[in-house]
Structure 1
């Protein structure tokens, strides 16, 4: 099979899966009982690969009994630039995308948000955002400035790749699997009760200043 025939086969295979999208449903009721809601947060995940950059936001609520709910709000993915940026630079681009779409949601969501939390599986990004003293090259400095314009460094957290739903948008995911995917459903550990989340996250903490 020639290269062009292989590409045609891949295209047709992808096109045939699009029929599954007609059954796609996204729940848009974020909160059913505001009187029982104690905290309302936005949880923002971002990721990058050589093929794409992506960010996704979830509306996370906790009630008076510590029960959590998570709802998909907005996701965005872009094809990676063809100029062959390094992965750290692509991760920086996707972090900028994350804060930009979070700002968009904050401006249009008609309810008070207690906090916004950002997650990345890149230690390089945590180092960029948390380092106040180091001078960066112009490309990095401009993007770090855009990130800090909206967010503070203590809002950024490390998440393992296998718990990062934005990872799904940077690689191939069949349309038939989208409905039940973490991209729309969100990471399962965020719907645990608060005390369970703390236990789960203790071993995930990473010092952003340690050597990369």
Structure 2
């Protein structure tokens, strides 16, 4: 991508390199000026994104269906988008491809959840390999010596970008914090109890292969007045937040995001930890609203009265720094939201704050 973008001749000198050929008879290095955007330079990502933005400004009016993927779905050299029908998706893809070509950016490596899509956009650079996600399996290493380093490495490899399996992943986070509390070295032998906990957790991960979570949000072509319901909870060790979308006049409710965070090593009181969970929850709404671009009504649910009416619905200046700062941030983020109470038994965030095994 970078090499498709020319640098102004006046700036070539800032990308000057010296090249020494050890097999050459001359000792003087050759001088070269790099004339295109160069990977590894500090402004390279900005310049690439700025050029795409300018390309959209100059040529976007000719390709209206490509505007949304460019504006909302581009990340460095990737462009993402979608549609409700295959024909519409193909139209969008064709316009994205045409818009990119006007700037000499040939797109490649098409990927889609629909098996017929790649056939329409087939080329020698496209990937026509079909991936059946329902046939995926969970793989875990069988390292004989389990150490703190191994546990951290394998925990980090549990990729769950939107938190759909947060109740499971949080168990690994809790275990990692227990290792910190015991001040165990990176390669020190672990206690039999911790070793057993980790082996049990790792062996259970295979059960995730049978877990199915629908990712379609069930939104119509006119996704107005969609309700977003958010829940938070905190236990002694973990706080959790979960976001659900509910299209009006439909019975389907879909999990969109979830997030967990372990308690700080310096323990907080439960009310303060609940307040921190409420702030974590409030921050998720900005991510949800930005990602879904919906005209939504939002309801926040917490399951403890102490952080709901006494703090969140009050003037933050009444309290000391810890409470004041978090209540103020909650007010700024969730200005129009309605905070409500929900019992622990009905709170779906409860399982993520306490942890579940995959089964």
Which category describes the TM-score, using the shorter chain as reference length?
A: 0.7 to 0.9
Write the distance in 1 (CA, Å) between the matches of 2:214 and 2:230. Answer: 18
Residue 7 of structure 1 and its aligned partner are, at CA, apart by 2.0
Greater relative CO, 1 or 2 (CA 8 Å, sep 6+) = 1
The aligned counterpart of 2:194 is 7
On the 8 A contact 2:282/2:334 being kept in 1, the answer is yes
Alignment of 1:30-179 (within 5 A): 30-31=217-218, 33-34=220-221, 39-63=225-249, 67-110=250-293, 112-126=294-308, 127-132=310-315, 135-152=318-335, 155-176=338-359
How many equivalent residue pairs? 169
Q: Secondary structure at the match of 1:90?
A: helix
Partner of 2:242, secondary structure, is: strand
Write the distance in 1 (CA, Å) between the matches of 2:336 and 2:348.
21
Contact preservation (8 Å) 2:301, 2:339: yes
Q: Distance in 1 between matches of 2:337 and 2:227?
A: 15
Asked whether the equivalents of residues 129 and 153 of structure 1 are also in contact (C-alpha less than 8 Å), the reply is: no
> Could you say what the CA RMSD is over the residues aligned between the two structures, in angstroms?
2.1
Distance change in 2, residues 1:144/1:173 (3 Å): same
Gaps of 5+ in 2: 1-189
- Contact persistence 1:42–1:113 (CA under 8 A): no
Structure with a larger share of its residues in strand? 1
The alpha-carbon distance between structure 1 residues 32 and 55, as it changes in their structure 2 partners (threshold 3 A), is closer
Q: Does the aligned pair in 1 maintain the 2:317–2:324 contact within 8 Å? A: no
Give the superposition deviation at 1:143: 0.3
The answer to whether the 8 A contact 1:121-1:160 is kept is: yes
Give the corresponding residue for 1:26: 213
Q: In 1, distance between residues paired with 2:337 and 2:248?
A: 21
CA distance in 1, matches of 2:316, 2:353: 32
Query: Structure 1 residues 132, 89: closer, same or farther in 2, change over 3 A?
Result: same
What's the TM-score once normalised by structure 1's chain length? 0.73
- Structure 1 runs (4+) deviating above 6 angstroms are none
